[in-house]
């Protein structure tokens, strides 16, 4: 494999071993798997709270429904948060362990509003788990790290996905998605980096 393809793969596809944490973050998405993983980690005692975040994608007029998942979750959902909450409850997470953030329409807002929510709850976040799709791992980490600079973040992407570190370079959709993530990591962080560092 070409070394630059390996470099892109290492950059985009992050994966940490989960550790005990104060919260599990699930940035907005229409995939069932991140919420299922968050429920599993909660049931294994990794964190006392889960904070799914999301209204629906910017430019949309509503939540468009499930994109993927091992099983279909029935119901009408107004927001990504409502959909993720439904999955968490269906997988045994109690209502009082699910924090609410249902206004964000893009990943940076997921992180901003999640910080506002944990602050309003009086939670000090020293360690956090971030459950996401594999291709979204780097950008999600960059945003949440920006809003929780003093926290240790453990990125735990789902294991099963259409686009993975092993196959993205062999599929036109995978190439578009991964290189699109590279562009977003550069394009979306210009102002953020200047604000942080200058």
Structural domain count of the chain: 1
User: Within a domain: residue 136?
Assistant: yes
Question: What does pTM read for this prediction?
Answer: 0.94
The residue with tokens 């329409």 is 105
Domain membership of residue 138 as a residue range: 15-162
- What phi and psi, each to the nearest 5 degrees, are found at residue 26? -130, 100
pLDDT averages per 10-residue partition of the chain, 198 residues: 95 98 95 96 98 90 74 83 96 98 95 98 98 97 97 96 96 96 91 86
**What distance in Å separates the CA atoms of residue 193 and residue 169, rounded to the nearest whole number?**
29
User: Within a domain: residue 133?
Assistant: yes
How high is the pLDDT of residue 65?
74
> pLDDT over 90 for what percent of the chain?
80
The runs of H, that is alpha helices, within the chain are: 3-12, 33-43, 80-90, 107-120, 137-147, 172-187, 190-197
Q: What is the CATH number of the domain that holds 56?
A: 3.40.50.620
């Amino acid at each position: 494999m070409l070394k630059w393809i390996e470099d892109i793969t290492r950059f985009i596809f992050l994966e940490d071993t989960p550790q005990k944490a104060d919260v599990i973050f699930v940035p907005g998405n229409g995939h069932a798997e991140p919420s299922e993983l968050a429920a599993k980690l909660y049931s294994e005692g990794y964190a006392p709270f889960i904070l799914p975040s999301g209204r629906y994608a910017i430019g949309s007029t509503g939540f468009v429904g499930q994109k993927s998942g091992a099983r279909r979750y029935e119901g009408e959902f107004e927001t990504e948060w409502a959909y993720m909450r439904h999955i968490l409850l269906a997988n045994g997470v109690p209502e009082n362990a699910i924090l609410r953030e249902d206004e964000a329409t893009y990943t940076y807002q997921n992180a901003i509003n999640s910080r506002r929510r944990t602050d309003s709850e009086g939670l000090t976040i020293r360690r956090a788990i971030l459950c996401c799709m594999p291709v979204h791992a780097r950008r999600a980490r960059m945003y949440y790290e920006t809003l929780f600079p003093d926290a240790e973040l453990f990125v735990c992407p789902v294991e099963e996905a259409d686009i993975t570190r092993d196959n993205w370079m062999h599929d036109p959709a995978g190439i578009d998605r991964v290189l699109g993530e590279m562009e977003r990591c550069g394009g979306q962080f210009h102002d953020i980096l200047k604000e942080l560092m200058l």
